[in-house]
Amino acid sequence: MPHQRFPKVEVLTLAPHEIKFLLTDTDISMANTIRRIMIAEVPILAIDLVEFAENSTVLNDEYIAHRMGLIPIRYQAHDSLRGGDCQGAFLPHRECVCFERCPRCSVEFTLDVNFDRENEMRAETERMLPLTVTSKHLNPNNDCVMPAHFLSEEEQDEAHDEGISIVKIGPGQTIKLNAVARMGISKEHAKWCPVAVATYRFIPEITLNEDQLNTLTLDQKQELVDVCPDKILHLDEVTGMLSAVENAYEIATFTDDLKQAQIAMKKRAEDDDFVSVVPSNDKFLFSVEGTGSMDAEEILMSALKVLKDRLNYLAHQVENLKDL
């Protein structure tokens, strides 16, 4: 097969809510495909329907329903400690054969908070303050599903509330509702987007022309080091050798400062550059941050699964065309 490629993924840093990885041995079409799938086609759960029984708060029903739709809903299987892919556990609601909703395609949450009732359990110093209704007050009917109250332990330690704020209520006010979470993708609505950030950048290729560099003085080499805004070059004062700093590809940007400085140093305009920084055509640095509904690693794995299914479907359709 001509131009056959074998893309590789190298994980650089990994945290529950963030992943950075290198995608190599491929081109920009594959990089952009993976990015767009992570944003728009990875299925997650989100609150899609809110039924109000009572709402005497300062916010109207539609505003509260919109806020609840943006609360990340996390699926976590009994045998897993991570926020996993809910695709195998739930059906998209449009594909389910139930009349309205069922445990196979939806998860129901109840919320019932009355200020006067809750105020009796609060400390004496807090009873005059408004009560913040948060995602902690949402009770699911499925033990494997819960709101993602905080993105990380650091955020939880710094927070003043017990979860994501929905509305504040005062004396005599009550909010009581049922909410239904369903599985969907961000192509349908942004509330089903699993990522807060999904970006990639071209890996810069830094090439040092040793023959040209040997024609420079120590001061000129130091000038090349200083002119780079990202400080990607290092000068050894003992040997006078110029080199790229470790992990320079993570910080290098494609600015004209270095190029303009080299033009001024050249004896002839047609001479080669001392240092060249050009974007690579087959290496991409990805940075992905989740919203809390899924771990960042699981978002990447789910995106690759969606891509595999799409390619298998395309191959199947091509085979069908051959039989016509």
Tokens of 261: 């400085």
Question: Is residue 99 domain-resident?
Answer: yes
Question: Is residue 256 domain-resident?
Answer: yes
Question: Is residue 245 domain-resident?
Answer: yes
Share of the chain above pLDDT 70, in %: 96
Whether residue 84 has pLDDT greater than 70: no
Are 290 and 186 a contacting pair, CB within 8 Å? no
Q: What is the phi-psi region of residue 25: left when phi exceeds 0, alpha when psi lies from -120 to 50, beta otherwise?
A: left
Tokens of 116: 């006067």
Whether residue 224 has pLDDT greater than 60: yes
Give the count of domains, the chain.
Answer: 2
Question: Is residue 323 domain-resident?
Answer: no
Question: Is residue 240 domain-resident?
Answer: yes
CATH code of the domain containing 137: 2.170.120.12
* 186 lies in the same domain as 253: no
Sign of CA dihedral 116, 122, 128, 131: negative
Question: Is residue 290 domain-resident?
Answer: no
Select from 265, 282, 299 the last residue of a domain. Answer: 282
Instruction: State pLDDT tens for residues 152-177.
Output: 777 777 777 788 999 999 999 999 99
Q: How confident is the model at residue 313 (pLDDT cuts 50, 70, 90)?
A: very high
Instruction: State pLDDT tens for residues 114-123.
Output: 999 988 877 7
What is the pLDDT, as a whole number, of residue 60? 94
* 184 lies in the same domain as 213: no
Q: How confident is the model at residue 26 (pLDDT cuts 50, 70, 90)?
A: very high
Instruction: State pLDDT tens for residues 189-206.
Output: 999 999 999 999 988 888
Classify each residue of 144-170 as buried b or exposed e, where b means 16 or more C-beta atoms within 10 Å of its C-beta: bbbbbbbbeeeeeeeeeeebbebbbbe
Whether residue 16 has pLDDT greater than 80: yes
Range of the domain at 251: 31-38+200-282
* 187 lies in the same domain as 204: no
For the beta carbon of residue 270, count every other beta carbon within 10 angstroms.
6
Mean pLDDT across the chain, nearest whole number? 87
Question: Is residue 136 domain-resident?
Answer: yes
* 153 lies in the same domain as 222: no
